[in-house]
Chains A and B, each alone.
Chain A
Amino acid sequence: MKVLVPVKRVVDYNVKVRVKADGSGVETSNVKFSMNPFDEIAVEEAVRLKEAGKATEIVVVSVGPTQAQETLRTALAMGADRAILVQTDVETQPLAVAKVLKSLVEKEAPGLVILGKQAIDDDCNQTGQMLAALLGWGQGTFASKVAPAGDAVAVTREIDGGLEVVSLKLPAVVTADLRLNEPRYASLPNIMKAKKKPLETVSPDALGVDVTPRLKTVKVAEPAKRQAGIKVPDVATLVDKLKNEARVI
């Protein structure tokens, strides 16, 4: 079974983002970028499936600017076999990405697509669900365990009240939650080897997909600032403040 893993290049999760003064977005020049953390988990899961003999080939895909090649090389260094960059400089929104992925799925015919459950920049949590819808496949979102067996996959999902297990007919789409696994670090020899692995670049036009954003971002603003608080010297003062000043207990 071939596994397709879409990955996204995002501002590194440790960076404290700054909103641009003109309200057009957040500052992304001279900022560290990395692979979206949920996508690292998706890649790791695919590599583990291959190591367990359940996957035969891992194809990683990114839709984004030329620099997303670095993100794909990282995935190759973790153990993916080859990469496809769908190169575009417009803002990638989930519906457009899902359509690009659908077109690649039709070409590559994977048995399983594993995505991250959300990107930490747009926080949408939509692409996997949309891809499953467009393909008419089952979806196992927020997965903390993935167990393919025969022509089905059992997915343990993190839900608000606890856990839920669903069984999906293959092929299917799975989105990874943080607790699915602990991604490995790419070793230096593997990083070197990754440079020789195939990386194909295509344009959305060549796939017949219009990636123009559908939602218009009118502006981006700083969230309301919290008032600076005070330090209290002891528990008694804390209780007093909560009772008499904040009146919350």
Chain B
Amino acid sequence: MANILVIAEHDNASLKPATLNAVTAAAHISKGIGGDIHVLVAGKGAQAAADAASKVAGVAKVLLADDGSYEHQLPEDVAPLVVATAKSGYGHVLAGATSVGKNLLPRVAALLDVAAISDITAVLSADTFERPIYAGNAIATVQSADSVKVITVRTTAFETAASEGGSAPVEAVSGAGAAGLSSFVSAELTKSERPELTAARVVVSGGRGMQSGENFPMLEALADKLGAAVGASRAAVDAGFVPNDYQVGQTGKIVAPELYIAVGISGAIQHLAGMKDSKVIVAINKDEEAPIFQVADYGLVADLFKAVPELTDKLG
């Protein structure tokens, strides 16, 4: 009976929530075929991340590959480690469909000479999965006959596994280390006090209708009242109102919060792809023909520069 391997996403000190969504997807697969869920943590000085993984409910074992070459989890270095681990007896290799997972897993799949299955939204059986195509305008059911299924998991489609309650042993493993093809130079991370966009319960997003970056503090004030994250449409990002990691859509982040408030966003196909699975959608737009109103549970046709401050006030 083959086990299931989940690749942990972490910053060496703590686990990223996407790992917990991937563990839940792994649990769905395990329900049908059995097999234990193991988590692979590749990093440098990553004992804390491995300890966090060992506490996750449902995890049977944590493999820790601690080596200087894995510090930034470059796919050239980590993929051979994942491949060697997968060959030691795993039927599935999973990771969250984040920028890290999307970068790494197709490389792993090609080295194993198997197809990769991107961004699954449902597990139908151990070899059959659902995934959105055409910017979420169609759902494909795909079946894999490969010996190892290499899968990235749409994080918003699976609950997070409980981060407490498990007590899996941590086992040290080692890989080939640096491949010498690439090196990390620098990172520039956007600092924010607000919740992470993909994990937030409420998201307030602004589009071209915001007119300039100087008007975004108005949305931030509303977001702070709601404990929300702030997002944006591609138009707002391209116009330079906000950094690109705010972008929600086919090419940006996929979110599915309980409440999504779209302000000054027309609702292009590519934007809807990133947010239409939100539980409740509110649209504030002065154009009553805007396509966003076709998916909004509550639409307000109004000037956002009046409506947003009024909304913020009323929530006080």
Contact = CB atoms under 8 A, between A and B. Distances in A.
Contacts of B295: 226, 229
Nearest to B130: A221
Nearest to B143: A216
A177 interface: yes
Contacts of A51: none
Contacts of B139: 220-223
B17 to A, nearest CB: 11
- At the interface, is chain A mostly helix, strand, loop or mixed? mixed
A239 B118 CA distance: 38
Interface in B171-216: 180-190, 198, 202
A13 interface: yes
Interface residues of B, number: 90
A7 to B, nearest CB: 17
A236 B314 contact: yes
Contacts of A138: 76, 181-182
A124 B91 CA distance: 21
Given A123-B119, A129-B107, A249 B137 contact: no
Interface string A180-210: 0000000000000000000000000000000
14 contacts: A123-B131, A126-B109, A128-B106, A160-B99, A162-B243, A218-B128, A220-B139, A226-B276, A231-B293, A231-B298, A235-B310, A238-B298, A238-B311, A242-B259
Interface of A: 11, 13-14, 16-17, 19, 26, 93-95, 98, 117-118, 120-134, 136-142, 144, 154, 157-169, 172, 177-179, 214-223, 226-232, 234-236, 238-239, 241-242, 246, 248-249
Given A216-B145, A232-B300, 11 more contacts: A16-B269, A17-B134, A129-B103, A130-B110, A144-B244, A215-B117, A220-B139, A223-B139, A229-B296, A235-B310, A238-B311
